[in-house]
Amino acid sequence: MRREKMKTQKKNKKYFAFLITFVSVIIILDIPLSHAGILGPSDRQVLTKRAEKYWNSKLTGDMITCYQLEEPRYKKQVPVSLYVRTGSLMYKDVEIKDVQTDDDNGTVKVEIKYFIPALGSKHIFTTTIKDKWKKIQGAWYHVLEDNRQRAR
């Protein structure tokens, strides 16, 4: 009986040593747990990718992709044919500055460089906005209504 207990204690020490080594490597190499395969990607990482897709689509004029990323409630009210005709800005550059998530709500701080062709000018304006996002059934969607608040 005593031998079995000693074997179990040795086994436990090996597992514990392995666990400590594994965690130490993750900490030393500064590997996020999601990259170590322990956890899936965080909401923040998923939202960042989704926001990048949305804003890069705006930049390239791919309004169909943008429309697909709008929240479902908005898409029920506005047909794609109307959506693609809205907007008078031409985007020159977009950059995601910060992403915050809180449960099923997200805020993406975006710096936008744009011009307004209707003015007949090529002057580039720069602004930073707080873009709202909402997680619905596990996927992040852009919230267009009352969306564009100036970042402070």
The SS3 of residue 30 is coil
State residue 15's pLDDT score. Answer: 62
Instruction: Return all residues near 23 (Cβ < 8 A) that are at least 6 apart.
Output: none
d(CA 139, CA 80): 20
**Neighbour-count burial of 42, counting CB atoms closer than 10 A to its CB (0-12 exposed, 13-18 middle, 19+ buried):** middle
d(CA 149, CA 152): 9
Rg (CA), the chain: 24
Report the CATH fold assignment for 43-150: Nuclear Transport Factor 2; Chain: A, (3.10.450)
Q: What is the mean pLDDT of each run of 10 residues along the chain (152 residues)?
A: 64 63 57 53 94 95 95 93 85 96 95 88 91 96 68 46
